[in-house]
Chains A and B, each alone.
Chain A
Amino acid sequence: MTTETLPSTHPAGRSATSEDGATTTTAPPRAAARTRLKTEGIYLWFLVPTLVLFTLAITVPAILGIFYSFTNFIGFGEWKFIGLTNYIAVFSDPAVLSSYLFTFGFAIVTVIIVNVIAFLLAVGLTSQIRVKTGLRAVFVIPMVISGIVIAYVFNFLFSNSLPAFATSIGFGPLQESILANPDLAWLAIVLVAAWQSIPGTLLIYIAGLLSIPGEVYEASAIDGAKPLRQLWSVTLPLVAGYVVINTILGFKNFLNVYDVIVGLTNGGPGTATRSIAMTIFTGFTGGDYAYQMANATIFFIIAVLISVLQLRLTRGRAAIA
């Protein structure tokens, strides 16, 4: 309850972590000795059905998709190998290129906004405030709401309420829906995507802030650091690991953006807000199956590269995501 208990809980939590991280690769030796004596048939029953199902549901489609990306398959009927033709075409396709530019730009802007807001909220929510639990509960609500549904709600606000309001005060630029404006529509998508994903990021930052022992604040206060200086020079460096993780996880997540766009602009106006996922899905209806699988394979390679980067940056913390 008091300051004395906290120092003892913190090291405990920490050491459990590093132990845990280490044992990812080395299991308790006793398990080894014991299972050799026991029949392990039952263990196979625990694992193998899941492996089979997983292979059929994930691995087979993945291999099949990569295979088809080297063909001219249109989703049904006959096909033949055409080598790297699809890949070459994808690289010079302005529609694909613009979807990558849009998606990456969107992901970078959103991840920055989400992290800044979530971090500041987390600092606020771990300070000496009233109704702390209630406020936290409110900020987490967006997490339990379906992205498509909240995007429809915001769609109404952007295309009906905001223009109606702008008209009533005679503000010209906003009298037309920003969703119909190719230069502004992406901002609406950033806003709704941020609204929806701040809670997850926030919870991770709160956990990070709570892992900082109180002593460091006492020490820096004795050295004369003001609250803002503490935030910048003490808090931020100590949650740097959490910043890295939130950034990469958020970025990976935003690269898959789909629901929010469907609910707001459906990729429009024109194709101004069409994401990579939306472009890939056109392969299903547009007869571009093999072509979009080449696109999907490239996207997959990018996703793997980002994950490798993540593993490197979070090395020693046993991060996998």
Chain B
Amino acid sequence: MSTQAAASIPLGDARRVAREASVTRRRRGRVGQERTNWGTTIVLFLCALTVLVPLYVTISMSLKSTAQAVDGNAFSLPSPIDFSGFSKAWALTNFPVAFTISILVTAASVIGTVLLAALASYAIARNWDRKFFRYSFFYLLAAMFLPFPVVALPQIQLTGLLGLANPLGVIILHIMFQLSFSILLFTAFLRSIPLELEESARIDGATTGQTFWRLVFPLLAPMSATVGIFAFLASWNDFMMPSLIIADSSMQTLPVVQQIFQTQFSNNYNVSFASYLMAMAPAIIAYLFTQRWVMEGVTQGAVKG
């Protein structure tokens, strides 16, 4: 996914992004006019339609009857409103199974990425003077230069041989491809945590493991959120990897099962759109509740690196 994008310019910009709304433009406002720029506001509202119209089409198509959906007019309102597309899509894609697999793959990828990357980063950051840890860091980072298509064929071959041509194999690969970027973020963040905190914990008798779990890991929470959001987006929306790795089509993830509407049932547009909507909705709904975090987290991750 594109947001893998670990660019890296200044730190600290990120957090401002979401909350600056009121503050930022006052600066400029001192000189220019203090009032709202209505022209720009209206242009932006029109631009926002390019995002909203495809979503409207998806919703309205999914509520049409098969007869109405087939006329090709995507923008008309559904009349009569017909929910039968959803029940058909539910059955055709075996939605409960695909949804459960997607949730499991995504949850395991997110948790696995955050835990493995945090542990490895902590070990690396606190042993930077040792060659082994330093070289491990660069070794793990090297995967950033490796696009998935380059190693896809051998990975398909090996996961097949090892009995991992299933969602578990996808989970492992999702975590591994997410590691480089996540370790980069965690190690940068770990350097900003004062060592005195850990030293005092150790004076109180905490072992390294206790120090990590009770003190460092909670302190990493903001960065864990960022790493987790990237891992979520990469895993939940992924089509390429599951479609190639998972051999059994009844074990496919939600984005991949949408393929059936291209070959079969291709004229039941209300059914296919109901299915697309059910595939999109969970992430959109989750986003609407967490959008501030997501925007902040993605900016932080993308800008920081």
Interface residues, chain A, with chain B CB atoms under 8 Å away: 1-3, 5-6, 9, 12-14, 16-17, 20-21, 23-24, 26-28, 30-32, 34-35, 38-40, 42-44, 46-47, 49-51, 53-54, 57-58, 60-62, 64-65, 68, 75, 121, 124-133, 135-150, 152-154, 156-157, 160-161, 163-165, 195-197, 200, 203-204, 206-208, 210-211, 213-215, 217-218, 221-222, 227, 241-242, 245-246, 249-250, 252-253, 255-256, 258-259, 262, 266, 276-277, 280-281, 283-284, 289, 292-293, 296-297, 299-300, 303-304, 307, 314, 317-321
Contacts and interface: CB of A to CB of B under 8 A. Distances in A.
Nearest to B172: A57
A321 B5 contact: yes
B253 to A, nearest CB: 9
B86 interface: no
Contact of B12 (A13, A156, A249): A13
Contacts of A320: 6, 8, 141, 144, 184, 305
Q: Looking at B24, B58, B73, which has the most chain A CB atoms within 10 Å of its CB?
A: B24
Contacts of A54: 139-140, 143, 176, 179
B10 A14 contact: yes
Contact of B126 (A31, A53, A256): A31
B47 A256 contact: no
A281 B237 contact: no
Contacts, number: 413
Contacts of A283: 153
B219 interface: no
B149 A280 contact: yes
Interface string B31-68: 11111111011011101101110110110010000000
Interface stretch (B77-85, B220-228, B294-302): B294-302
Given A149-B255, A221-B31, A140 B144 contact: no
Contacts of A250: 2, 5
B37 A128 contact: yes
A148 B147 contact: no
Contacts of A200: 2-3, 5, 298, 302
Contacts of B124: 47
> How many of chain B's residues touch chain A, expressed as a range?
35 or more
Contact of B48 (A16, A46, A135, A145): A135
B264 interface: no
B20 interface: yes
A29 to B, nearest CB: 8
B120 A144 contact: no
A197 B146 contact: no
B120 A46 contact: yes
A208 B13 contact: yes
Contact of A20 (B11, B16, B128, B147): B11
B215 interface: no
B298 A203 contact: yes
A129 B40 contact: yes
Nearest to B32: A221
A146 B287 CA distance: 13
Contacts of B101: none
B276 A153 contact: yes
B17 A210 contact: yes
Contact of A12 (B12, B147, B287): B12
A153 B57 contact: yes
B9 A62 contact: no
28 contacts: A13-B16, A14-B10, A24-B188, A49-B116, A65-B153, A124-B44, A126-B24, A127-B40, A135-B48, A138-B51, A140-B287, A143-B233, A143-B294, A145-B237, A146-B239, A153-B273, A156-B57, A160-B74, A207-B302, A208-B13, A213-B27, A214-B28, A258-B240, A284-B244, A304-B145, A317-B8, A320-B184, A321-B144
B265 to A, nearest CB: 13
B191 A50 contact: no
A246 B152 CA distance: 26
B258 interface: yes
B190 to A, nearest CB: 10
Contact of B255 (A148, A303, A321): A148
B104 interface: no
6 nearest A-B pairs in the assembled complex, by CB-CB distance: A214-B27, A13-B12, A27-B128, A164-B72, A61-B154, A245-B7
Interface string B137-173: 0011101111111111111111000000000000011
B176 A142 contact: no
B153 A28 contact: no
A60 B149 contact: no
Nearest to B164: A57
Contacts of B276: 149, 152-153
Q: Looking at B34, B117, B127, B244, which has the most chain A CB atoms within 10 Å of its CB?
A: B127
A247 B34 CA distance: 34
A54 to B, nearest CB: 6
A54 B32 CA distance: 54
Contacts of A246: 7
B91 interface: no
B299 A207 contact: yes
Q: Looking at A165, A206, A289, which has the most chain B CB atoms within 10 Å of its CB?
A: A206
A16 B179 contact: no
Given A65-B153, A148-B258, A321-B305, A164 B73 contact: yes
Contacts of B240: 258-259, 277
Given A153-B57, A208-B13, 10 more contacts: A13-B10, A13-B13, A126-B25, A149-B280, A156-B269, A203-B299, A203-B302, A210-B17, A214-B30, A304-B145
